[in-house]
Amino acid sequence: MARLGRFEETRMQTIAETRLPNNAFVPHPADPPGLPYLSGRWRTDAAIFDNEFLPALSRAGVTAPLIRVLRRTMPPCDTDFVFTHGDLYVGNVMVDPVRVKVTGIIDWESAGFWPEWFQYARITYGVNRDDVEWKRLLSRLQRERGTIKYADQGRVWWDAVATLLEDPESERARTWLRLLVDFLKGNVGVWTLREYRKLR
């Protein structure tokens, strides 16, 4: 991840300069259901929010005031797109069990230039028990490196978006957004942000 992240681009796109697959960037896209690709190759925060998140949030019935809070608390993306595998699921990492050595990484169809914080947010979701353990290790190592800008802000924000798209009335998501507002005002630190899932 560190080596890939050295390659940067000024817009969200694949290495072939085409649109990226959605890859859960906008969780639960609904227009049309299961839309496989982002709608464009964006350069700015405003373009990303207005063209990707805003339509999904509006369709889900999230209120305008809450959408404004989401826009204000969105982690910055502008010109900070790094090359990312996009799906470091445990089944995509090939390991020689005798030498205990990584021998390959497969399934690069989600790879491309993503906002750096999304790389961190994406690796915190596991699909099974083994993957949860792997993602916990991966996310801890990324956090210890401390080099991903807006990692914790992005993680909380992305989870709030996903929760609101499932349940526009979610009090839990509103609590997380209030926490983000306090964080951005400097009223709470990153350690408080990292405990966001404990909040009700």
| pLDDT recorded at residue 185 | 97
CA dihedral 133, 135, 141, 147 (to 10 degrees): -160
> How many residues are listed for the chain in this entry?
200
Listed by start position, the domains of the chain span: 4-198
Q: Which amino acid is at 193?
A: L
Tens place of pLDDT per residue across the chain (200 aa): 888 888 999 999 999 999 999 988 998 655 555 558 999 999 999 999 999 999 999 999 999 999 999 999 999 987 779 999 988 888 899 999 999 999 999 999 989 999 989 988 887 777 788 888 888 888 888 777 777 889 899 999 999 999 999 999 999 999 999 999 999 999 999 999 989 988 87
Q: List pLDDT tens digits, range 164-173.
A: 999 999 999 9
> CA torsion sign, 181 to 166 to 36 to 64?
negative
| pLDDT recorded at residue 56 | 92
pTM greater than 0.95: no
Q: Are strands 81-84 and 101-105 parallel, antiparallel or unpaired?
A: unpaired
